[in-house]
Amino acid sequence: MARGIYYRWWSHRARVESMLDFVYGNGEEGSPESVLKAVDKCGWNYSPLMCVGDVKGLILDNIVIHHKPKVVVELGGHFGYSAIRIARLLDEDAKLYSIEISPLCVAISRELIRFAGLSNKCTVVLSSSSKAIMELKEKYGIEHVDLLFIDHVGKLYLPDLRLMEEEGLIKRGSVVVADKVHYNFVVDYLAYTSNENRIYKSALHETYLQYSTKLRDAIQVSVHN
């Protein structure tokens, strides 16, 4: 492993493990709100964390509250923050499926979700996004997705959305939320989901990158027509 790659891997591992320790010391087991507050405190004050964060998280909260999804899929669960943020607002009969390719992140995500008391609402899937998408119907019995949250690798935003469409998982009324659309420079995704194409009705929310007051970013909300 090249030295630079090893350093980034180790730095990432150290950050997420430190974050988990911080949540144990500052959060309350069984309380999703306290877990989110602990992660946000860690992100703002101690360590840069890759998640939707509290500012853009409020936009996500409003979407969940307004649309009341029964089936939620997220591509790029990372360490579980967004899963907790969404699941805490879901009805009892709703379910969230979090797809993440990193074994380390899956392990920490499952533990953070357990600590928050939301394991009954969340299934964390260790898989590449494309493989998991093609297994959603057969393996998990999902016929369609009410809310899709995209927050993984920028170059996969559009291919994975198109794959979801091809699999019949995105239908009229499905809501697609894409985070970091400026940071990840997803020009092809934004063009495809633009109102001009009339496939989706989209709204772009300009804001800042998580835990930053200087780096501009945006989150896009699209509803399938």
Q: How confident is the model at residue 12 (pLDDT cuts 50, 70, 90)?
A: low
Length of the chain: 225
The pLDDT assigned to 1 comes to: 37
User: Can you read off the two tokens belonging to residue 135?
Assistant: 């297994």
pLDDT, tens digit, 9 for 90 and up, residues 29-57: 999 999 999 999 999 988 778 899 999 99
Residue 3, pLDDT > 70, answer: no
Distance CA 152, CA 183 (A): 12
Kindly report the pTM of this predicted structure.
Answer: 0.92
Residue 121's contacts (CB-CB under 8 Å, 6 or more residues apart) are: 87, 90, 94, 95, 96
pLDDT in tens, 122-164: 999 999 999 999 999 999 999 999 999 999 999 999 999 999 9
Residue matched to tokens 């794959």? 163
CATH number of the domain located at residue range(s) 50-224 in this protein: 3.40.50.150
Average of per-residue pLDDT values in the chain: 92
